[in-house]
Every structure is written in structure tokens, then in C-alpha cells.
Amino acid sequence: MITCTLTYEIDPNQVDAFEAYGRVWIGLVNRFGGTHHGYWLPHEGANDIAYAKFSFPSLTAYEAYRIASMDDADCQKAFAFAQRTGCIRRYDRSFTRPVLDALPIEALEDLA
């Protein structure tokens, strides 16, 4: 599994527009076979930083989603909405792999 983490710099006057954009992308990512983990919007602290995370089974599956999204009418409408409202100033994308299961403390002895 590969998880994409997006860090957005958003227009603090367009948080409602960005939230609508994010809610649309939750459905779009899920429709393309990903698992969206949600958006995190400003609350305390910086008022122009937001986050999103979503996963795909592999980097190949993620790349297929990216290619397909360029030809998908709904994705293009979402991109156009962000452009029109100016809700996103910039974003950074990084990829990680999740660690979701626990190990017993004794497992550390085998790794030392």
C-alpha cells in the first residue's frame, strides 16, 4: 500500500470552497479504487494550511488513477473549481507506506 499525503497552502478566505473541493475528491479517489482518509482543515494555529491523505494498493495503482483523472469529466470540474475560486495557493505531495500492525516488545530483541 502507498499513502499520498498532501499539504496545502489555502486561501484563508476560501476555506468553505476548499472544504467543498475536498469533499468532492473524497468520493473521486474512492471511485478510482483508492481509500481516502480525509481532509484536515485549519482550526487553531496557521489559518492557511490543510492536509489530506489517501491510499492506493500500489504506486502503479496510484499512477493509473492520476492518468485516468486527467480524462475524467468530474475530476476536471473539481480542478476547474479550485482554479476559479483560488482556494488552493499551492500544495506538496509526499508518499509513505503505513505501518498498521503491532509487534510484541520481544521483537525488538531480534532486531538489535
The string of pLDDT tens digits covering residues 61-96 is 999 999 999 999 999 999 999 999 999 999 999 999
First to last CA, the chain: 27
Domain 2-110 has CATH 3.30.70.100: yes
Mean pLDDT (the chain, rounded):
96
Q: Is the pLDDT of residue 106 over 80?
A: yes
Cα-Cα-Cα-Cα torsion 83, 88, 94, 98, nearest 10 degrees, comes to -110
Q: Looking at residues 42-50, what average pLDDT do you find?
A: 93
Band of residue 112 on the pLDDT scale cut at 50, 70, 90: confident
CA dist 6 and 29 (Å) reads 13
Nearest partner of 18 among 64, 58, 63, 49, judged by Cα: 49
